[in-house]
Structure 1
Amino acid sequence: MPQSIKIWPHRGRDLMIRWNRIYIDRPADVFEAAMAFWTAVTGTRLSEPHGEQGEFITLLPPHGDPCLHGQRVGGPGGAHLDLDVDDLAAARRRALDLGAVVLADRGHFSALRSPAGTAFCLTTGDGEHAPPPVPAPDGTLGRVDQVCLDIGAAGYDREVEFWAALTDWEVRPSARPEFDRLGVPDQLPIRILLQRKDTDEPAAAHPDAACADIEATAAWHESLGARRISRGAHWLVMHDPTGGVYCLTGRDPHTGRMPS
């Protein structure tokens, strides 16, 4: 972590982040299949489509407030993070001052790219209660509760600096040198992990699920059409039935932390 990182002080409630959410972005031709998988593994149901072209959908949990959504996109897809803020104009100015680029403004949200090219949105929605873990058919608990920002090596330190300054959240090093974590407040539903990639590939993002039993969860997901791609130290890299990347991790689905 470079010593030059500056953590901006809070400037009142105008920039307070009051909720966050993951958008699972999938191409139009496989969107319905992707959403069928994700509702099955998260125990949710789909809202009615919304947005100017019906491109957005919300995964509605049986308990708690929504923090998972889907977006029908024209490109290959992936995932992106939304931050719900008290003052959208002030948050947008702050992001631009830190090097972000605005892609679109839609009144109640702004779509941006970070300096390394990570897509994200600033929005005006909110929530209050994070959904609890959901059981698989065998009773194994799991919860999609993290977005991993995959950053090329050359832009990684600058990207960590950007997210720390934008959110005012502490950067916490991981036990593994390729990861850093933002200190997201406990009341928010989505953890944020940054991963330094070995190459300078374009920035991307993917969702992660905390699992009480990775192998049991992976077997269930495979029965629904997912595929294992590779194994990490305490995670499995998976493809959903439409080829979208996600990970199953050994973190506690209640707390989001690794077991001691």
Structure 2
Amino acid sequence: MIIRWTYAFADRPVGRLSEARAFWTAVTGTHASEPRGEQAEFLTLLPDEPAGTDACVKLQGVAEGDGGAHLDLCVEDVRALTRAARERGAELVADHGDRAVLRSPAGQPFCAVPWHGESVRPPVAAGSRLDQVCLDIPPSAYAAECGFWAGLTGWERLTGSRPEFEVLKPPAGLAVRILLQRLDTERPAGAHLDLACADTAAVRARHEKHGAVLVRQGPHWTVMRDPAGGTYCLTGRDPRTGALPDAGRRAVVA
């Protein structure tokens, strides 16, 4: 089963979707599509330029909770991907015919959706690129969850720069990769978005100008909260390649 494209979803409370729309379009160099869904809860962030590049980020308004993030995996055969996911322990949440909502063994939602020919990733925007969905996994489920996502995607499995990280690197050209993070404590699985930043301080200042606030500072990541209340990370990685250069200038992956 070949995954042809990936979308990173920012899930935010439906009542704050307009705030999420204004912020995420501003910081990613995109404009929003017309809303879709029964409650106008879905938006695609379309690259402003250049022509011919494909979207890879979407917004979803959620009725409950503060939201988070999830992945859409685009394939030619949704049924085959759904079947493969279930055989590996995923739960089918909803079957919509041409797409399916599933939940990983650790409880992280994701979707199997049809591929519509997307193939050209959008450019770096103002020194950053939203290029990663980080899955936050409780310790008891971490090993199995890493195996699930590696088996389902077939992507290259790489050790991260710290013991609690593992990276699934997609084939060249795909827009969004997966970082799996082992949490320190047992709590429900979740996910958040990561941006690769050439200059994290400059990107942070730009995001704060558009209403984001600092939550905390990590070793090589900065946790932020957007105006709609969702948390995400600015990471000191090359936005072109996703690599994190260490002090010796070797390229590491998370």
SS state at 1:17 partner: coil
SS state at 2:82 partner: helix
State the distance in 2 between where 1:183 and 1:220 align.
28
1:5-84 superposed matches below 5 A? 15-62=1-48, 63=50, 64-75=53-64, 76-84=66-74
Q: Residue 252 of structure 1 corresponds to which residue in structure 2?
A: 238
Give unpaired runs (5+ residues) of structure 1.
1-14, 136-140
User: In 1, are the aligned partners of 2:28 and 2:125 still within 8 Å (CA)?
Assistant: yes
SS state at 2:244 partner: coil
TM-score (norm 1): 0.90
1:143-222 superposed matches below 5 A? 143-222=129-208
User: In 1, are the aligned partners of 2:200 and 2:236 still within 8 Å (CA)?
Assistant: yes
Q: Residue 108 of structure 2 corresponds to which residue in structure 1?
A: 118
Q: Residue 125 of structure 2 corresponds to which residue in structure 1?
A: 134
User: In 1, are the aligned partners of 2:137 and 2:190 still within 8 Å (CA)?
Assistant: yes
Q: Once the two structures are superposed, what CA deviation does each residue of 1:133-162 show, in whole Å capped at 9, x if it has no partner?
A: 012xxxxx1111111000011111110010
State the distance in 2 between where 1:187 and 1:107 align.
28
Query: Could you say what the CA RMSD is over the residues aligned between the two structures, in angstroms?
Result: 1.0
Count of equivalent residues: 241
State the distance in 2 between where 1:90 and 1:256 align.
30
Structure 1 residue 187, shift from structure 2 partner: 1.1
State the distance in 1 between where 2:188 and 2:44 align.
27
State the distance in 1 between where 2:27 and 2:228 align.
14
Q: Residue 224 of structure 2 corresponds to which residue in structure 1?
A: 238
Structure 1 residue 256, shift from structure 2 partner: 1.0
Moved over 2 A (4+): 51-54
- Matched letter for residue 7 of structure 2: R
- Matched letter for residue 123 of structure 2: P
Structure 1 residue 223, shift from structure 2 partner: 1.4
Q: Once the two structures are superposed, what CA deviation does each residue of 1:50-80 show, in whole Å capped at 9, x if it has no partner?
A: 1344221100002310000011111221110
